[in-house]
Amino acid sequence: MNQHLLDKQPVADQPTPMIDPFGRQITYLRVSVTDRCDFRCTYCMAENMTFLPKRDLLTLEELERLCNAFIDKGVRKLRLTGGEPLMRKNVMQLIRNLGKRIGEGALDELTLTTNGSQLARFADDLHAAGVRRINVSLDTLDPQKFREITRWGDFHKVMAGLEAARKAGLKVKLNAVALAGFNEHEIPELLRFAHDNGMDLTLIEAMPLGEVDTDRSSQYLPLSKVRRDLEENFTLTDIPMTTGGPARFVTVAETGGKLGFITPLSHNFCASCNRVRLTCTGMLYLCLGHDDNADFRKVLRDNPDDDAVLHRAIDSAIARKPEEHNFELDETHSRVAVARHMSMTGG
């Protein structure tokens, strides 16, 4: 055979990139390592949650094998979430092992979304493992209101965690869910706090995931309104920056920092969606707003030594990724898009 043609032949057993039916390349995997959390945020969980039994969870070794399969298939950014990911026993071993893929050049970034409660303990270890950037959820700077929204959270513990992250060299982005009647008037203060302390801020619209104890329609605050309100006191300029996720960013002239908007309801970001979500039970969700999933726990356990089967299962799942989600939420009504809570899918 002609040498030129030989050069064009695909390499045997080389995993192919993940392209969904709408031509989007999947390069971002979010992994929930646990559904458990030490907070009970009112927009995320019911106060009395029933968590998964241990036998239903993937082991850390299974999570690592599956994450590596996705990295081999083209994932360049990997985010660990929960629940609260740092509550998973021995989770640092998983983080250290996945961090090695950065050194190999197979992974661009390993990040974490956390509520900050465990950061004082783990910040140095995270940096040593290769994590350079984390997201910390913080919806208010009022300790009493913080306790109200998280039910169980300790504001001062989170503040200590943010300081530990700074000292460890971790770049922090704060995530705040914009909630009508709760924190809408605090957003300028959150913005100044973040930027004064070298952190960016991203605002998120409340999403209708899982039954909770509150009426989500009363919580819904469109970020288009938030932006208009902010522009009365701040100069916001759109920028093309991307972190691989759904946020759209602006610079804030008065503070010198960046502000992100995640708008799954008022202005969805489906056209550029490059991500899928893996739960701690091995269920792969192709879209946050759909219940369609693929059971990778069974694939893993039925094929403990055959990664080719795992790669084919990934291709089969990606081929079912929908074009867009179907959230419905406004000031007058709320429809729960899916029954699972955000803590199960991964925040």
Pick out the residues of the known binding site: 30, 37, 41, 43-44, 79, 83, 113, 137, 173, 207, 270, 273, 275-277, 287
Q: Can you tell me whether residue 8 is helix, strand or coil?
A: helix
Tokens at 276, concatenated:
């899928």
DSSP secondary structure of 272-309: G--EEEE-TTSEEES-TT---EEEHHHHHHH-TT-HHH
Known binding residues for GTP are 30, 79, 113, 173, 275-277
CB 200 within 8 A of CB 320: no
Q: Can you tell me whether residue 249 is helix, strand or coil?
A: strand
Among 157, 188, 158, smallest CA distance to 172 is for 158
Rg (CA), the chain: 20
CB 290 within 8 A of CB 326: yes
Name beta bridge partners: 200.
173
Known binding residues for [4Fe-4S] cluster are 37, 41, 44, 270, 273, 287
Known binding residues for S-adenosyl-L-methionine are 43, 83, 137, 207
